Structure 1
Amino acid sequence: MFENRRYIIQAIFIGVGLVFLVKLFALQVADDTYHIKAERNIIHRIIEYPFRGLMYDRNDELIVYNEPIYDLMVVPRDVYIADTADFCNLFKITEEDFLARMQKARKYSSVKPSAFLQKISHEEFALIQDHLYKFNGFYANPRTIRKYSQPLLANEIGYTGEISPKELERDTTGYYKSGDYVGVTGLEKYYEEQLRGVRGVSRKVVNVNGIEKGSFKNGEYDTAAVPGKNLITTIDLKLQAYAEKLLAGKRGSVVAIEPSTGEVLVMASAPSYDPNLLTGREFGKNFKKIESDTTSPLFNRAIQAQYPPGSIFKTVQALIALDEGVISADEAIMVYNIHMGDHAPSGKYDVTRGIENSSNNYFYEVMRRTVNQGLSSSIFTDTHLGMEKWARAVEGFGFGSPLGIDIKGEAPGLVPDTEFYHKMYPKEKGSWAYSTIYSLSIGQGELLVTPLQVANLAATIANRGYYIKPHLVSGFKENGVVTPIEYEKHYTGKGDEYYPAIIEGMKLAVEKTAKRAVIKDIPIAGKTGTAENGVKNESLDHSVFMAFAPADDPKIAIAVYTENAGWGGGASASIASLIIEKYIRGEIKKTWWNREEYVLKKLYLKGLEGVEN
């Protein structure tokens, strides 16, 4: 009896085991329902792109912000489209384009997501989002693009673009991935590390219809994106807008600096372009159009154009000679109009009168004394030794090399030295003398400067002998806290006791030769000049003016270049005075003549009154 019970119990256990085996077989082999359900719940690893840092002007006005867009991502292995034509119609692409994009995605990875379509606007996405469920393997990834509050500062702000394969290869940090956007030019590039922020990652459970079912494991493995730092720029946006308005229809540039800080108030280059053109899906088409424009709007004349300085350089000649002790500020030197053509009469000149009248022959003598070192044993040997010392002194004023402003592409200019002339006259050393190079004394010859360097010179004189490196960003703002950037002073000479004589000469020069720059109740110290255009008998030379104001308590230093506009006391002096008055007063007061009309309508070309000096 007990033996029979044992067999019965064993039979029951065996029966139950068989039932479970049959059920497991049915679930795992015969019935694929659970298998299908598992496959249809896909985990998407989604990159959470951080908000790129914003840019503000010095008065907390927004310059650059972010606008939401979407990238259509694809995982090639998961793609299933019942009707390719329907897909192409929805996204407004051709079937050839579809195939090419799919091939590119497969080449990158069959299992990793990559961008199939980029920069879909918020409005466009609203029209297609309800149809995404029909296309397995595709999903939308939100991100942002740059937008600009005003069509200003295009070359200074720069633009962003998709990282190139070469840049990916050079990225030793491993931060960037294919499809990332990076700063390409301007502040966007220079401050890329601060602006970009830190990417985050989220993992979403998505069904076969592309509908999110929630976070994977309640977000246990997600990391939050960290926004980039905001830039506090030194730009006065309203003043920038005014400067660009005055330059409209011209070729030239304006650079204005706050002397006491080195902060760039205005950096305008003309012709320019609307920075909003280089954002969104029309980027490529717009870039080709801008790049092929014969007026070169991508060329930032403020830091990249190089010109002979002309008569503004006479201030540097005087300062170097005073530093070297070869003249004194009140020394009267008798000069005759025998060495150079001159509109100033023969007579006695000291530093102040020499700058006031811009006497070519006075500065011929000033540089000769500096370079020839007193004419001791050999004029040739002394010229070479003195020339080397002179060149190093000129470089001390920020010429001959980039000043280091915080955007790429700054041109160095050119300060010729002894080695330069040895190469120019290679037959034998000693084959050149002061008589070969004297055109340098009035800012002509081989000298080349940039508008930024000239504005920096004006700031140096305003500061009585030093400058702070010009810069476009004063600090970073993060979580409401501003971290300022510290900049050092650069001293240019041995003392400041002779600057009053230089400044007095500049004040008198404005009253005498740049009357269009005179502003009632705002004393201006300035100097006109001409930059030769190198194409004689075809067009006018370039109009140049540098200044600072108020002369005795400087708040703004400025350099203006107006190409093919003639003498400096016309176009450039007028533009500079308008910007100075706008900055100091906040408005332009009416005068007996309309300066704005004179500039905007290019009336300076109709009556080139005055003589260059």
Structure 2
Amino acid sequence: MNDQRPVAIIIFIFLVGLVLLTKLFMIQVMDDSFMKRAERNAIQRVVDHPYRGLVYDRNGKLLVYNNPIFDLMIVPKEFEVGDTTRFLELFKISKEELIASYDAARKYSSVKPSTFIKQISTNEFARIQDFLIDYPGLFIMTRSVRSYPEPVAAHALGYIGEISSRQLERDSSDYYVQGDYVGLSGMERFYEDQLRGEKGVKYKMVNVRGVDKGPFKDGEYDTASVAGHNVNSSIDMDLQQYGEKLMMGKTGSVVAIEPKTGEILSMISAPFYDPNSLTGSDFGKNYTALNALETKPLFNRPIMATYPPGSIFKIVQSLIGLQEGILTPETTYACNRSLVACHNHPSPVNLFGAIRNSCNPYYHQAFRRIINQEVSSNTYKDTEIGLNAWREKVLKFGLGGELGVDMPNEKKGLVPNSAYYDHYYGNGRWKYSTIYSLSIGQGELLVTPLQMANLAAIFANKGYYYTPHLIRAIDGDKSKIPAEYQIKHEVGVDAHHFNMVQNAMAEALYGTAQRAIIKDIEVAGKTGTAQNPHGEDHSVFIAFAPKEDPKIAIAVYVENAGWGGRAAASTASLMIEKYLRDSISRPELEEYVIAGNFIY
């Protein structure tokens, strides 16, 4: 008799499978109760955005902190609106905005949350929070925006804003998603990695009405956010506030540096703006308004504006001539005004007198000797060789290239080489008479105010500088600042050459910048008047003090303010006194600068 057991087993398995398939069909197709039960509770992934690091000034005063704001998030598949009119009134949006926001969210994902209404203030959130339970698919995500206890140093600190699609494409860290905030300028952008912190994630159960039912699996999969690192800036807030008071209503810049460290004490770009205006929900509107102003308050002049340095550059010429042995302190030239215009002063003058009196013809003749050293019998070739050799020496002073300050968009300025003139005049078609304006810091030579302040630091330090920077410490630890800001840069001029130059700069104040003289503080400085073909010349002044133990080096540019001994020298002098003494002994000079009537 044949064994029928295998056939019976096959039939049994077939029948069981048929029953299960029938049941599954009934559950999935005919009966939706299980689907409704599953949808009754859902797991919601909520990103926990970290607080950005705080920013302090060099004395521990708070410059930037965080203010909470709220984004209303939407899950389109769960979203339901009963009374549309009531919804529009409650959330203060139009019907068109509702439709547009919903369509954008659904296009992104019907099941993933996305931003519905951005940057709701604390007061607005308090008004609407009790009504959120009436609208399934809506929930609140807490974020923060920057706030400023004092509206100063906007250009140095920078601002944050929503990340752009281009920035997202360049993000190799996979940290950011659309809608995240990121540093867009200043320190906020440069130190983004340190300030941003680390995101956390929370998983919570919510029912179909959006009611929070508690953490998923008691928070087993949650991760906490980690706040960003706090940054200690080198800015002196009191000095910054005072400088902005002096520059109110003017166009220009002020940069003050601690010479021994390269730390930037003050960085002012005028006109300036209230950094609080570029925060919160009005960011876009306010940015557009500021950007449309003819005065360009968003333009960061200390690192982006370029000007001829004017007579200040004569100090660099003097030092290069001394180092090369082409000039000595006794080298004497007549003030020959047939070569180039000059003002009244004794003639002839030695190098000390040339610095003190800012003699243009002296530097016309001295620069010719630096450039034309007769290394070639061809005058044109000789000038080309001399210019390129001179340029290499000038570059060591931090000119003609980026210094490397911890801010984005720093400009290089310009120290022209032979290729530059070949491009405009043709090879072998220019000589010293073409470029002599470089001798007095005019012509094609261009510098930024930051570079000029760095020159003042070089003169104060007798031949070296540290890259100017706004960072002083991270989380109070000075060892965490980037290593490049602790490297000493030598300019290639022996220290003893600076002794006579410093003495001449101190004496120069009594001739060209008497407003810069401070009782009992020896200031060494140099005025400049940068030519401006579009209107009044720019007033320029650099200085350092005290002369024997410099604590501050400063450069001031005041556009369209004329002679350097007025606007720029007066402003710099007050800034120096404020920093060294924390008080002002010359109220009449302060009133003069604030009034700003420099060319009358």
TM-score range, shorter chain: over 0.9
1:483 is matched with which residue?
Answer: 480
Quick one: distance in 2 between partners of 1:339 and 1:564?
26
Quick one: distance in 2 between partners of 1:159 and 1:274?
11
Does the 8 Å CA contact 2:153/2:268 hold for their aligned counterparts? Answer: yes
Cα distance change, pair 144–421 in 1 and its aligned pair in 2 (3 A): same
2:10 is matched with which residue?
Answer: none
CA apart distance, 1:166: 1.8
Q: 1:600 aligns with which of 594, 597, 600?
A: 594
Equivalent position SS for 1:312: helix
| Pairs within 5 Å for 1:66-465 | 66-345=66-345, 347-374=347-374, 377-426=377-426, 429-465=427-463
Does the 8 Å CA contact 2:42/2:205 hold for their aligned counterparts? Answer: yes
Does the 8 Å CA contact 1:546/1:558 hold for their aligned counterparts? Answer: yes
Read off the aligned partner of 1:529 and give its amino acid letter.
Answer: G
CA apart distance, 1:218: 0.8
Q: CA-to-partner distance for each residue in 1:344-381, whole Å, 9 max, x for gaps?
A: 44633222111001111111121111100157633322
| Pairs within 5 Å for 1:502-541 | 502-535=501-534, 539-541=535-537
Does the 8 Å CA contact 2:70/2:140 hold for their aligned counterparts? Answer: yes
Cα distance change, pair 39–391 in 1 and its aligned pair in 2 (3 A): same
Does the 8 Å CA contact 1:330/1:350 hold for their aligned counterparts? Answer: yes
Q: 1:577 aligns with which of 570, 573, 576?
A: 573
Equivalent position SS for 2:277: helix
Does the 8 Å CA contact 2:323/2:497 hold for their aligned counterparts? Answer: no
Quick one: distance in 2 between partners of 1:453 and 1:442?
17
The reply on whether 1:553 has 2:560 as its aligned counterpart is no
Give the fraction of aligned pairs with identical amino acids, expressed as a percent. 52
CA apart distance, 1:33: 7.0
Quick one: distance in 1 between partners of 2:26 and 2:167?
54
Equivalent position SS for 2:352: helix
Quick one: distance in 1 between partners of 2:216 and 2:539?
66
The reply on whether 1:542 has 2:541 as its aligned counterpart is no
CA apart distance, 1:173: 2.0
Read off the aligned partner of 2:252 and give its amino acid letter.
Answer: G
Quick one: distance in 1 between partners of 2:173 and 2:269?
35
Quick one: distance in 2 between partners of 1:336 and 1:175?
65
Quick one: distance in 2 between partners of 1:364 and 1:263?
35
Read off the aligned partner of 2:589 and give its amino acid letter.
Answer: R
CA apart distance, 1:571: 0.8
CA apart distance, 1:434: 1.0
Quick one: distance in 1 between partners of 2:223 and 2:321?
63
TM-score (structure 1 length as normaliser) = 0.90
Quick one: distance in 1 between partners of 2:35 and 2:103?
29
Does the 8 Å CA contact 2:335/2:359 hold for their aligned counterparts? Answer: no
CA apart distance, 1:324: 1.3
Cα distance change, pair 342–26 in 1 and its aligned pair in 2 (3 A): closer
Equivalent position SS for 1:526: strand
| Pairs within 5 Å for 1:466-481 | 466-477=464-475
2:560 is matched with which residue?
Answer: 564
2:20 is matched with which residue?
Answer: none
CA apart distance, 1:184: 1.0
Cα distance change, pair 399–595 in 1 and its aligned pair in 2 (3 A): same
Quick one: distance in 2 between partners of 1:351 and 1:422?
32
Equivalent position SS for 1:42: strand
Quick one: distance in 1 between partners of 2:140 and 2:334?
80
The reply on whether 1:588 has 2:589 as its aligned counterpart is no
Read off the aligned partner of 2:75 and give its amino acid letter.
Answer: V
Cα distance change, pair 368–346 in 1 and its aligned pair in 2 (3 A): farther
Quick one: distance in 2 between partners of 1:305 and 1:493?
27
2:47 is matched with which residue?
Answer: 47
Does the 8 Å CA contact 2:335/2:361 hold for their aligned counterparts? Answer: yes
Does the 8 Å CA contact 1:202/1:223 hold for their aligned counterparts? Answer: yes
CA apart distance, 1:37: 4.7
CA apart distance, 1:578: 0.4
Read off the aligned partner of 1:437 and give its amino acid letter.
Answer: I
Does the 8 Å CA contact 1:548/1:554 hold for their aligned counterparts? Answer: yes
Does the 8 Å CA contact 1:163/1:179 hold for their aligned counterparts? Answer: yes
Quick one: distance in 2 between partners of 1:366 and 1:518?
29
CA apart distance, 1:384: 1.2
Quick one: distance in 1 between partners of 2:121 and 2:230?
24
1:15 is matched with which residue?
Answer: none
CA apart distance, 1:208: 2.8
CA apart distance, 1:34: 7.1
CA apart distance, 1:338: 3.0
Does the 8 Å CA contact 2:334/2:361 hold for their aligned counterparts? Answer: no
The aligned length equals 576
Quick one: distance in 1 between partners of 2:255 and 2:28?
76
Quick one: distance in 2 between partners of 1:259 and 1:344?
34
Quick one: distance in 1 between partners of 2:303 and 2:478?
31
Quick one: distance in 2 between partners of 1:176 and 1:29?
41
1:10 is matched with which residue?
Answer: none
Stretches of structure 1 lacking an aligned partner (at least 5 in a row) = 1-22, 607-613
Read off the aligned partner of 1:407 and give its amino acid letter.
Answer: M
Quick one: distance in 1 between partners of 2:208 and 2:122?
24
2:7 is matched with which residue?
Answer: none
Does the 8 Å CA contact 2:78/2:208 hold for their aligned counterparts? Answer: no
Q: CA-to-partner distance for each residue in 1:492-544, whole Å, 9 max, x for gaps?
A: 12311110111111001112210111100011000001111221xxx311110
CA apart distance, 1:481: 9.0
Quick one: distance in 2 between partners of 1:470 and 1:418?
29
Quick one: distance in 2 between partners of 1:70 and 1:388?
59
1:492 is matched with which residue?
Answer: 491
Quick one: distance in 1 between partners of 2:547 and 2:390?
28
Read off the aligned partner of 1:498 and give its amino acid letter.
Answer: H
Quick one: distance in 1 between partners of 2:398 and 2:152?
27
Equivalent position SS for 1:343: coil
Cα distance change, pair 344–501 in 1 and its aligned pair in 2 (3 A): farther
CA apart distance, 1:337: 3.2
Does the 8 Å CA contact 2:306/2:447 hold for their aligned counterparts? Answer: yes
CA apart distance, 1:276: 0.7
